[in-house]
Amino acid sequence: MQKELGLTYLFISHNLAVIDYMADRIAVMCSGRLVEQASREDIFKNPVHPYTKALLAAVPEPNPDRKLDLTALMAGRASLPSAWPEPFTVAEGTTLQMIDLGNGHFVRASAKPEGIAA
């Protein structure tokens, strides 16, 4: 319907497996903050933010050899911004901004994460 009718829509879900089928671009939010935004392909193949990585680790795959990794989500630390590693940590006195990683991929951080090519 989107292509046939030229529709744009906003689809909100906690289920990234569903989002994978629905979206061209994905914006990941945690605690009311946008933490990562990119194309569907970039989010699923190259997640950068620790919260995005934790969400993706909990997405089931039709592969019996790949076990779900719910540890980050179940420990409650994945959704705790003060527990995220640098440069993603949300703390008093820290200014975070959406860092452009290229190709429309943005991540909220205090500086460009190490090991990320421009």
Could you report the per-residue pLDDT of 54-102, keeping only the tens digit for each?
888 777 777 777 776 666 565 666 788 888 889 999 888 889 999 999 9
Domain ranges for the chain, please list them: 2-109
> pLDDT at position 65, please?
79
Q: Which amino acid is at 96?
A: L
pTM over 0.95: no
The answer to whether residue 113 scores a pLDDT higher than 60 is yes
Specify whether the CB–CB gap between 94 and 109 falls below 8 A: no
Between CA 100 and CA 79 the distance in angstroms is 22
> pLDDT at position 47, please?
95
Q: What is the rounded average pLDDT of the residues 101-106? A: 96
Q: Residue 78 corresponds to which tokens in the numbers above?
A: 């994945």
Residue 35 to residues 1, 44, 82, 95, 102, Cα–Cα distance (Å)? 29, 15, 13, 13, 16
> pLDDT at position 18, please?
85
15 — pLDDT class (breaks 50, 70, 90): confident
